[in-house]
Structure 1
């Protein structure tokens, strides 16, 4: 369970969920026809040395031979990849990845010349990430700047101190983040994004009622999967469940017209044929909403 001011590294608490997500991206990337290509994900997993996720690289969890969770991560990752590339083509030369975790988009994507990518996360996560990238001589395709700060603290001051220009259009992402923030911190996050965004800025958000998955996740995984995708933890135990604004309503009310897609919508857009799922799993599959919004004039 969460507590105010709790901390973690890459193999504990919230950090361990970032390692799980990297594992799912590595599995998706290894498919014969992957939706995404992330050559860095496996490097992070092996460097962390967490046995469950290392085993998953060759033996992923399955539902009747369907690798459901990694497939979901492929859709989610491609949505955010495409979002950043679209925002860049629209002129945004700043990107801010909130709770960047083991996201390697600064190295993976073909950014236009002059793009600055800011990665915000806890110091322990960024230190691990930087070490692995350095050990593997990874070269970013943009001006990558890390901002070591907890999103429950004064991250806007740290971000602007790192060189982020509020007068220039920015592409923001909040991927797999919102349920791990207290309600007040989530609402403050959107207020800060709004205050730091020039007209023409873009924002992509993964959102869901009461979080990215329901409180019955552990029950469903034990019922349907041959192994727990997240090992010894249930990610929903790390969620905050207090009151908060609904981004689908907050964004348009504050001058950010929003487009909304479900996982099924993304699968159709990317030409992915979905398997037949039990009703309760199908409900979980379509719980997350993927929002893309553009800041209009002040």
Structure 2
């Protein structure tokens, strides 16, 4: 890793985001606590934050995403989720830090190297629920479907794809969506979603660093959550990253100015609200 190419691969982005969780957790007024984040992010995660343009100031959307997803995961569990299928789980320590039922089945899925690193760092820690580790390359359709069929054995299933879809091509997202519907028979799918406007803005500042590490941003459907309709999914809830940042007071320093400016142009305000969000999809069957 060099300053010119701080991200070596997609897995490195998990270390980057872990440092953002650590930054929030160490605040006296933290809205969530992840006591493992600093350890998981490690020196590489710190170096990525230092090397990225405006690295520390870019923490807010990741902090918002974590907080809102925590809320939705806990709500879905209260509504009856019995299996959580966490795809490209990276360094997500939710099974260790959230108040989860002991008999909840949590499937932590990632590539072998990332999975090995996570298990090594978390050795000696006790999860709150029944945690399983699955090494899998989700690009392999046969492997993916076998894993999804296994998840379906103990439903209802909640799927999490936090920070994953933006790195995939549209056809790969469509294939994943079909298999989650037809094979995993998932009831809920929790993900984050970007718009073309967000992709354009991020490309100006970050994409050269991410592309150098073979981790460019790709997926930002112009039709938003309607993209998933042909694969059997509909939007149940869209939590605007911008709106949620204002609600939990973790927005950019100039947020009041931008909020006022955008409200003077209603069309722009609507676009900003849907530029990025945390989405809960539900199975249409």
TM-score, structure 2 as length reference: 0.78
Counterpart CA distance in 1 for 2:224 and 2:159 is: 14
Range with greater deviation from structure 2 (257-266 or 74-83): 257-266
Segments of structure 2 that go 5 or more residues without pairing to the other structure are 1-6, 263-270
Range with greater deviation from structure 2 (252-261 or 35-44): 252-261
The alignment status of 1:196 with 2:174, answered yes or no, reads: no
1:179 to 146, 162, 166: 166
2:8 to 5, 9, 12: 12
Contact 1:169 1:197 survives alignment (8 Å): no
- Partner residue in 1 for 2:27: 31
Per the alignment, do residues 244 and 115 of structure 1 end up closer, same or farther by CA in structure 2, a change over 3 Å counting?
same
- Partner residue in 2 for 1:8: none
Q: How far off its partner does 1:67 sit?
A: 4.9
Counterpart CA distance in 2 for 1:130 and 1:234 is: 25
Q: How far off its partner does 1:256 sit?
A: 3.0
Contact 2:52 2:209 survives alignment (8 Å): no
Per the alignment, do residues 217 and 165 of structure 1 end up closer, same or farther by CA in structure 2, a change over 3 Å counting?
closer
Counterpart CA distance in 2 for 1:197 and 1:107 is: 24
Q: How far off its partner does 1:234 sit?
A: 3.2
The alignment status of 1:249 with 2:235, answered yes or no, reads: no
Query: Residues 160-179 of structure 1 correspond to what in structure 2 (within 5 A)?
Result: 160=148, 163-166=150-153, 168-179=155-166
* RMSD between superposed Cα atoms in Å: 3.5
| 3-state secondary structure, aligned to 1:103 | coil
Q: How far off its partner does 1:270 sit?
A: 2.9
Q: How far off its partner does 1:85 sit?
A: 0.4
Note the alpha carbon deviations across 1:68-122, whole angstroms, 9 max, x for none.
Answer: 3222221100111111101100010100111101111111111123101111111
Counterpart CA distance in 1 for 2:97 and 2:148 is: 24
The alignment status of 1:72 with 2:48, answered yes or no, reads: no
Counterpart CA distance in 2 for 1:285 and 1:255 is: 21
Counterpart CA distance in 2 for 1:132 and 1:157 is: 29
2:237 to 256, 259, 263: 259
Contact 1:184 1:244 survives alignment (8 Å): no
- Partner residue in 1 for 2:105: 116
Q: How far off its partner does 1:166 sit?
A: 4.9
Counterpart CA distance in 2 for 1:35 and 1:239 is: 30
| 3-state secondary structure, aligned to 2:11 | helix
The alignment status of 1:139 with 2:126, answered yes or no, reads: yes
| 3-state secondary structure, aligned to 1:73 | helix
1:45 to 41, 45, 55: 41
TM-score, structure 1 as length reference: 0.75
Per the alignment, do residues 235 and 85 of structure 1 end up closer, same or farther by CA in structure 2, a change over 3 Å counting?
farther
Counterpart CA distance in 2 for 1:152 and 1:16 is: 18
Per the alignment, do residues 235 and 24 of structure 1 end up closer, same or farther by CA in structure 2, a change over 3 Å counting?
farther
| 3-state secondary structure, aligned to 2:108 | strand
Counterpart CA distance in 2 for 1:284 and 1:247 is: 13
Segments of structure 1 that go 5 or more residues without pairing to the other structure are 1-10, 222-229
Per the alignment, do residues 242 and 70 of structure 1 end up closer, same or farther by CA in structure 2, a change over 3 Å counting?
closer
Query: Could you say which structure has the higher helix fraction?
Result: 2
Counterpart CA distance in 2 for 1:110 and 1:69 is: 28
